[in-house]
Amino acid sequence: RDGIGTMASAQYRSGSIDPSIQLFLSADPDDFLDKASTLDQLSGQQVEALKKIQEKQRELAQERQEATDKLEDLASTRTELGKKKKEVQGKLADAQKLLNSLTAQERAALQADQARASRDSMRDALGGSTVPASGRAGAAYGVAQSKVGSPYVYGASGPSSFDCSGLTSWAYAQVGVGIPRTSEAQANAGTRIYSTSGLKVGDLVFFFNDLHHVGLYAGNGQVLHAPRPGTVVRYESMSTIGGPFMFGVRV
């Protein structure tokens, strides 16, 4: 643009006299014709430069539109995530109110039931014939076992308290494997396994259609996980999670 503008300004200052009149008035026709040929070449270069500018402008316009569309998508996603976060926080508040309304005796009975269910699930997991996954999945599972009994705290990722994806990401991190923090992102952290018969100990297992819950497969239809507020890290049958099993992921 700068180059073409400079040349256009020079042409404006020269007055742009008709070429035939310039030839008639020229004291040296040969010299004029040589200059005219040079100017013709420069005009051709200007045309090419203008074409390039037009192409670049079209490309920029397209990229600007794509960027605008992506920004709109991001804004929509951010709004949706904000709504989901408020929904989750509301449910957590309701759950906490319910827990606070329990008497000491009711809390003790609930904890006893949960501990008994966890022991039963652990016995089922360890008593079967499932072969633990070798390598990092088995190692991550072994680390997670040391956290049985740790309290569930929403947003916590160890070492003393956890939410569901906080436990799985922490366990894998302890054996040198980095996986995303949220359950939705962890669903894309490895190879998916859609059949429970194909699962091995230490595989990530996901529940509910929106994949908001994840745990570690413990073998024989059991999962080691951090369930929800008011509970602790424990073993549980996959059939009692409260939502459908979607698939497993082998990291």
Return the active site residues: 164, 213, 225
Which residue do the tokens 């949706």 mark?
Answer: 80
CB 160 within 8 A of CB 152: no
H-only helix segments in the chain = 2-14, 19-25, 29-101, 104-127, 136-145, 164-174, 183-186
Q: What is the DSSP letter of 180?
A: -
| Alpha-carbon gap, residue 21 to 18, rounded angstroms | 5
Q: Starting at the edge strand that comes first in sequence, how are the strands of the sheet with 213-219 ordered?
A: 191-193, 245-250, 204-207, 213-219, 222-225, 234-237
- Find out whether the peptide bond into 159 is cis, omega within 30 degrees of 0: yes
Rounded Cα distance, 196 and 4, in Å: 69
Distance CA 244, CA 197 (A): 16
